[in-house]
Structure 1
Amino acid sequence: MILLVPLAMWLCTANCYLAFFKDGPQAFRRSVLASAIFLFFFIGAGTELLSAFNLINSYVVITAWLLFNVALIFISARLQGKHKLNLRSISRFWMQSGKAFFRKLGVFTIIILGSLALCTLIVAIVATPNNLDSLSYHLSRLGYWVQNGNVEHYASHIERAISFSPFSEYVHLHTYLLSGSDRYFQLAQWLSLAGILICVSLIVELFSASAVQLRIALVFAATLPIVVLESMTTQNDLMVAFFVIATAFYCFDFTQNRKPIAFLFLALAVAIGIMTKGTFVFYALPFGFYLLVFTLGRADLWKSLALLLAGTVVLVLLLNAPFWYRTHQIFGSPVGTMSNGNRNDIRRPADFISSLSKHTALHLGFVSPGNRYNQFLESRLTDLHAAMDVPLNRPGSGMPFKMNKLNFNEDFAHNFFGMWLILLSIPLLFFARLVPHAKWYALAAFCSYLIFCLFIGYQTYGSRLHIPFFVLAAPVMGLVYGSVMRAVPGKILLTILWLFALPFALLSVTHPLLSTRWFFENVFPPINNALNLHIHVGPGNANLMQESIIFSPPEKIIWGDHLAEIQNLTSFIESRNPQKIGFDLKEASYDYAFQYSLRKEGRIFEHVAVRNPSKVLENPAFKPDLILAEVYEGAAFDCHGQKYVLGFHTLDKWVYIPANNLK
């Protein structure tokens, strides 16, 4: 039944083409973008609607998608009759326009984009999800939602699972219920990157017809290390980046073409973007402000502006109000409390300069002989803070600062070449021949980064939070460097970006396509010694050395070096054949991983002995057959009126069993 999704995408694309874009430029890409936004809206609104009636189950979701496809077929038939076209002729036109677009890209650019897309697609499909945040809260939500038949909040030791924006997980929920498998989870991020590249191409073509500028922009976006790595995970940073850049596109598309239909997709993108991740607001704000100023200056657009504002408010509340209400009931805030520690405490201009410099320096570190390059940069950063009389690690400014070297993890990889290209493009912006709208776009993109650095403190994993800025900057990089480079220098730049990105597609720490063990045991040591890089690879970071996901069993991918311990744990649990398992976990627990290893037809999981405000949702009638704990509760403890005693333990996990049911 998972094929209902691509069928809906194809039908919706055809309908958008016939209804809105048939006679316009970039008709196919615009139709695909609009179709994706419509489908995302269907998922978001449909999930909340079904949840209100406790109908989150495979039968109802499959029925909903069948009805949705029937409706799309009916609409398609009406539109085909109106325009005297059929799906075959439409598809033939799409093929022709696709060939023209690929000719514009050129063979070399297609090889770059295609090679990265193929490597990451294989990993996204083959590898079992094992990202730390995904195991903790992104995916753990799904089991409880399906079990409960709704997406209401539930008692959980992991506050992020019931307070962080849920849209990307709604997408995973639908693919899981349609397919009965987790095989398609990581495709959401991979396809989000495809959508980002469509938006980048459309934005560049709003301002220029240059093939060189288009190629540089697309390759810049596709080769960012953090982007390459995240396209193979179940996180949500690429998905929110898609809605951010779609918002930016529709803002400037309207100012360029004045077609009101852009407002519909803009309002939808804003509503779903807010539902995806809170950082959406910081990056989208400058583009909304630009559109507001543009329309306020033209009296004939005031009515359209009023409709846009009203429609956006309605859609934002329609999609987000139910979740905000549920969260406020538990935490006293519609966005929970887990993100409070990331807020920046800015009291004077020097504090903002400190934040901006640390966020930027996060991407500038690299490997060098004796680590002298990083030491030099960090020394300059320290000097800057001393001159401003601001401590480098001032309280309220985020995590302690740390220079990156080279990281292949999707939480910590940084964009070394990307940030340097952005910094070097700033003076070039004053000399590059760009149309006025392109310069306004560049200003809005840079302002989005400034706003983010104003409100959010430095974090060691901040690179992935910067993804929306880097993809917003991609069209700017294409326009600037494409205007000052001829064909040969442009190809050299593309080659450098490609060669630097390929290792990230092949050697991810968490799910490598090629064996990282082979690399770190055979290739890296001679390089490390010859260049005096002082990078330690050994027992302390053994997880760097992984076998290829092609040859690794799913549980090995999830648990890594802890697999033997988990197998002993699950063997004991299975020996008791429990139907109801209680989880007594920590905030950073691998909740989904436990569900994955222990799930069984009819088995129920619930969190017990919860120690945060969601404890009010704990079900006192739930009497687990055993409790899996990551917190030592002593030799015995009471839970829901029943006494449990310690029956098994490993290094940092304990299993408690009912005292009246000892074996």
Structure 2
Amino acid sequence: MAILLLFASFLLILAIFYWQAQPEQKLFRLAFVKASVFLGLLISISTESLSLGRSLDYVHVTLFWAIISIISFVVLLRLNHVGFQPYRSANFFWPWAGFYLERLPRLSDLIVIAPIVLILSVSLLIALVAPPNNWDSMDYHMPRVMHWIQNRSLAHYPTYDLRQISFPPGASYIVAQFQILSGSDRFANCVQWFAFLGSIIAVSLITDIIAGKRASLISMLVCATIPMGIMQSTTTQTDLVVSFWLACFTYFIFSTNNFSGSDVFWLASSLGLSLVTKPTAIIFGAPLFLLLAFRILNDALGLRNRYLFEFLRTRAVTLLVVLVGGISLSIPSYWRNYQILGSFLGTDTGTRSTEFGLPQFISNVLKNTALNLTVPGFREWVVNIHKNLLGVSLSDSDLSLSFATEFFQGPAGTPLTLLVPHEDTVANPIHSILIMLSVIALLFRLSSKASKGSRRGDMALFQLSVVNFLGIALFCFLLKWQIWGNRLLLPEFILFSPLIAHHISTYIQNKVWEGLAILIAGVAIFYALTPMRHPILTLPASFTGRISFEQSQSILSLARQDIYFSGSRKELKVPYHEVVNLITTRTRCKSWGFLVRGSAIWEYPLWVLLKQKIDSFKFKHVEVRNESERAEPEFSDTEMCGVIAVTNSEDVNKLLQITGNWTNTVVSSSPAIAVYMRKESK
């Protein structure tokens, strides 16, 4: 399989970074982070470059990775002449344990390492066995990849779902190349799984610097057991990917006080990869950039006036290079958005707040806190605060998307519902409580007469905590409350892991820690085994409650193509299969239109089912009525010989101006699905 070329390139690049490092920096974990960032750059640049010539296809992508593999292998051979010994270090083969392999006999370390390995193994199994099947993946994450592959280009196209073209494409670059090289979506979920592994490793590096090696090992378990992180690791959403890049950016901020040219490269690259992946990177990355500026400019405080100007000039250039370099990866995407949608960031999908003020800000802080604190009575307390103090409506459309009233005053926000292993809404209650306790402990420690030896690490933890809270504050200020907001906050939970680990290693006795580790590991393993839409173990309806309709059977008992419909939208399985059977038995048409009227188009399964039956078919959205209609069509309407319509027949007749040259077959009345075919001339 051609995808092995990409994997081989990564391993070779990883080996290069490991063996070319100075002895004091020869860590597998650091090599892993650098290789990941470098690979992310290669994928981003190659995808955009191939798109320019409409060459985003199997031949050119395979050729690119063949060249990269050869170059990497040659570089590695040259390293051999200066002492390259690939089997010298066990660290090279065990990324999840790294420096700590020699400590395995200790029970406390086994309690940490074993759950991490188990969680990652179970999540990887699910990621490989189950195809993507959540709402966002079906509506825009995966369809955009299929349109790119069909068009051999990233150019915008007319679409019902503007998220397909306006949202940053970084994670989808990787999915697209995986899809092209493997010929299927077998590895699509592995992008987020890899980011999950990378986040665990990056967090351990951050903690190593600012809290010590014992806390570093603890931080790996803390990060690996975040329920939302586990849920995301088996999907094609982008929250773990942006979390990983932001964690890399954070590590490079703390890695040194004297930033060299190579440090600037890694800072700009990791920041750029986060910005090209998800819009929330702007919100969470801005405070981190301010922290970088503070750390770079901090040394100026002790300089005399005659040296100060030169110092500030060079440091300002460093910051400017990081910022411009970071933004540069997103320029192609921003330009496409500006040309078609009139805005660099794309169309607002209704998530940005439109009313600002202190009561509104406090309202969103409380509502987002309620997504994680599953304490009985907390939801009612938030409702009373809104009524009696803030004077702000819970369901104010300027501050909240839909579901706010139902969540706070109906059954949707009960503690049990928030604990259900659902990838959009699962809470992180244990980690939230640990964050609060750790912040209190840190503030107390800073205010006390702590030893000078520990003060430096405490200040670094304080700085990281401040920028994390600033990111959360910006999130609550700029974005409306969303019932899936906890998923968007995942980067901050991951970046709080060093603080939690420091608190545990400093204040909690080993016996207590072992009990806590067993508790959070047990909960995490439960979540790893039971994600609702693609579980290994199926939960009873009595546990999943009002969202039990999204509960899937065990993926081990289902055929892969059935899993697309086993969670949400079960009602589409039969009509979608009937549509494909109708198309393949009654016509030789290979150019199809897709007509939808409604908010959820659930497009991707049609691509999969049609691809299994028809070679080289083409698929496009028709009768699009939004900003994207000005984009160049994917192919001509005259070439189109059939339309799959997910709407009522009266709408289709009117929209397509149906004449006697078309035949139609109603496949389903609920949901309304019909197939329209142009009569073939005799």
Say yes or no: TM over 0.5. Answer: yes
Q: 1:626 pairs with 642, 648, 653, which one?
A: 642
Residue 229 of structure 1, CA deviation = 0.8
Per-residue deviation, residues 535-558 of structure 1 (Å, max 9, x unmatched): 746xx84332x3211120122101
Segments ≥4 residues shifted beyond 6 Å: none
Amino acid at match of 2:92: W
The reply to whether residue 556 of structure 1 matches residue 562 of structure 2 is yes
Q: 1:606 pairs with 614, 620, 627, which one?
A: 620
Amino acid at match of 2:346: G
Q: Secondary structure at the match of 1:581?
A: strand
TM alignment of 1:43-442, pairs within 5 A: 43-81=43-81, 84-88=82-86, 94=92, 100-104=99-103, 106-211=109-214, 213-255=215-257, 258-297=259-298, 298=300, 299=308, 302=312, 305-339=315-349, 341-365=350-374, 373=376, 376-385=377-386, 386-399=388-401, 400-401=403-404, 402=407, 403-404=413-414, 405=417, 406-432=419-445, 434-442=457-465
Question: Which has the higher mean CA deviation after the structures are superposed, 481-490 or 580-589?
Answer: 580-589
The reply to whether residue 542 of structure 1 matches residue 549 of structure 2 is yes
Q: 1:175 to 1:125 in 2, by over 3 A?
A: same
Residue 261 of structure 1, CA deviation = 2.6
The reply to whether residue 579 of structure 1 matches residue 590 of structure 2 is yes
Q: 1:576 to 1:22 in 2, by over 3 A?
A: farther
Q: 1:71 to 1:222 in 2, by over 3 A?
A: same
Q: 1:99 to 1:607 in 2, by over 3 A?
A: closer
Question: Which has the higher mean CA deviation after the structures are superposed, 624-633 or 143-152?
Answer: 624-633
Instruction: Quote the residue 2:16 is aligned against.
Output: 15
Contact 1:9 1:36 in 2 (8 A): yes
Q: Secondary structure at the match of 1:165?
A: coil
Q: 1:304 to 1:171 in 2, by over 3 A?
A: farther
Instruction: Quote the residue 2:451 is aligned against.
Output: none
Q: Distance in 2 between matches of 1:397 and 1:458?
A: 6
Q: Distance in 2 between matches of 1:380 and 1:662?
A: 69
Q: Distance in 2 between matches of 1:349 and 1:487?
A: 43
Contact 1:189 1:230 in 2 (8 A): yes
Contact 1:346 1:454 in 2 (8 A): no
Residue 127 of structure 1, CA deviation = 0.8
Percent of aligned pairs sharing the same letter: 24
Contact 2:293 2:319 in 1 (8 A): no
Instruction: Quote the residue 1:636 is aligned against.
Output: 653
Instruction: Quote the residue 1:370 is aligned against.
Output: none
Amino acid at match of 1:172: V
Gaps of 5+ in 1: 367-372, 529-534
Q: Secondary structure at the match of 2:665?
A: strand
Q: 1:288 to 1:295 in 2, by over 3 A?
A: same
Q: 1:95 to 1:237 in 2, by over 3 A?
A: closer
Residue 470 of structure 1, CA deviation = 0.3
Gaps of 5+ in 2: 301-307, 408-412, 446-453
Residue 95 of structure 1, CA deviation = 5.5
Instruction: Quote the residue 1:615 is aligned against.
Output: 629
Per-residue deviation, residues 174-218 of structure 1 (Å, max 9, x unmatched): 11111212111111101101110111101111023242x234322
The reply to whether residue 510 of structure 1 matches residue 533 of structure 2 is yes
Residue 301 of structure 1, CA deviation = 5.4
Residue 661 of structure 1, CA deviation = 4.4
Contact 2:575 2:667 in 1 (8 A): no
Residue 398 of structure 1, CA deviation = 1.5
Instruction: Quote the residue 2:450 is aligned against.
Output: none
Residue 356 of structure 1, CA deviation = 0.9
Contact 1:254 1:260 in 2 (8 A): no
Contact 2:142 2:604 in 1 (8 A): yes
Residue 313 of structure 1, CA deviation = 4.4
Q: Secondary structure at the match of 2:398?
A: coil
Normalising by structure 1, we get a TM-score of 0.90
Q: Secondary structure at the match of 2:276?
A: helix
Instruction: Quote the residue 1:28 is aligned against.
Output: 28
Contact 1:18 1:80 in 2 (8 A): no
Instruction: Quote the residue 1:532 is aligned against.
Output: none
Instruction: Quote the residue 1:652 is aligned against.
Output: 671
Per-residue deviation, residues 585-607 of structure 1 (Å, max 9, x unmatched): 24421111111111221211111
Q: 1:55 to 1:641 in 2, by over 3 A?
A: farther
Residue 389 of structure 1, CA deviation = 2.4
Normalising by structure 2, we get a TM-score of 0.87
